Chain A
Amino acid sequence: MEPGDPTKQARAAAQLRKGVLEYCVLALMRDRPRYGVELLHALEESGALATSQGTVYPLLSRLRREDLVTTTWQESASGPPRRYYALTATGRAALDEFTHVWPGFRDAVDGFLTAAPQPSAGDPA
């Protein structure tokens, strides 16, 4: 396997994104409501979570149906009104749960990735 193969890297990143994207989207709304284009910009800037932008809207639609977010229309000084997405209590609870689970998950993966050469648990270094 070529470690530098961009196609395989993209596939791995897409697999990871699938699991965490909705929680990252919820996290973006933690402090204040955001509108769609704003959410997409933030994902874009993160690099790793950048995705084909149009695919985020079906995700937002599901979050709305599952009552994790609510939406309100707000007028804007420039251009058309924006649909703002805000966390519901259920959405906040889901985000809190993920926030709680994530460090253990991340550390476990890091453990597998870094500890592979040494089978013994006690690391002398």
Chain B
Amino acid sequence: MKTPTSPTSPTSPAGPVRDYLLAVEREAAALPADRRQELLADLAEHIDVTRAERPGVAPGEILAELGDPRTIAATALAEAGSGGAEAPAPGGAVPSVRRGRVHPLVPLLMLALPYLVTTFLPDVPGLALCSGLVRIAGGVLLCTSVHWAPVRKVVGVVLSLVAPTVAGIVWRETTVAPAGDTPALVANLVVLAVVAATSVWLWRTRRA
């Protein structure tokens, strides 16, 4: 790099290029070995591609454009999280935390759990109202979530909120059987299965 004279064979990656890559390797010694090898491979590829695309250009010029090995190594260390405070922690949870959105499980549990409770405790006063409110809140959270496409949200709300409500109204208007009877329990279990299946489907099709 210090002597940008042409090597004996102008196309072979020797001389200044090798020295440059060795310098990067030395400066990046604090990087994990796989990251360091990846960086060296990226830089070597860049040099090869640039030489193929601009055959007339001197290797020294390509290396000068790439920049100081120390700067590159320092950037790599910062990006790897060992040299800079601004590097984000690894892990898939980072994007959702950064967006400040609720966990995808929250709306699904709010939609499904109240149904389970009211199915097995049909006669507790006030519980139906509470469960309805929680389920509506769950529907709102589902619709405002970043974890599903609009189509999935509509299907989810229809299957887990609208359909059970309509089914409940139709049931009450058309039968005389009091809640808690076996047919009502069976109907509730069917609806519960639909709601649970919808929640599972939404959970599986969520995006990160």
A80 to B47, CA, bound (A): 10
- A122 partner residues in chain B, CB cutoff 8 A: none
Known: A52-B66, A78-B52, A90-B208. A61 touches B71 (CB 8 A): no
A60 to B207, CA, bound (A): 23
By the criterion CB–CB under 8 Å, are A89 and B207 in contact?
yes
In which size bucket is the chain B interface? Answer: 35 or more
By the criterion CB–CB under 8 Å, are B51 and A79 in contact?
yes
- A62 partner residues in chain B, CB cutoff 8 A: 79-80, 87
Residue of chain B at shortest CB distance from A38: B49
A35 to B45, CA, bound (A): 10
A60 to B79, CA, bound (A): 10
By the criterion CB–CB under 8 Å, are A80 and B39 in contact?
no
Kindly provide the distance from the CB of B150 to the nearest chain A CB, expressed in whole angstroms: 14
Kindly provide the distance from the CB of B205 to the nearest chain A CB, expressed in whole angstroms: 12
Interface of A is mostly: helix
A85 to B92, CA, bound (A): 20
- B35 partner residues in chain A, CB cutoff 8 A: 61
| Interchain CB contact (< 8 A) of A54 among B38, B52, B66, B90 | B66
Known: A59-B79, A78-B53, A79-B51. A52 touches B43 (CB 8 A): no
By the criterion CB–CB under 8 Å, are A79 and B49 in contact?
yes
A97 to B146, CA, bound (A): 11
What are the interface flags for B36-70 relative to A under an 8 Å C-beta threshold, 1 for contact and 0 otherwise? 00110011011011111100000000000111110
A66 to B76, CA, bound (A): 15
By the criterion CB–CB under 8 Å, are A53 and B42 in contact?
no
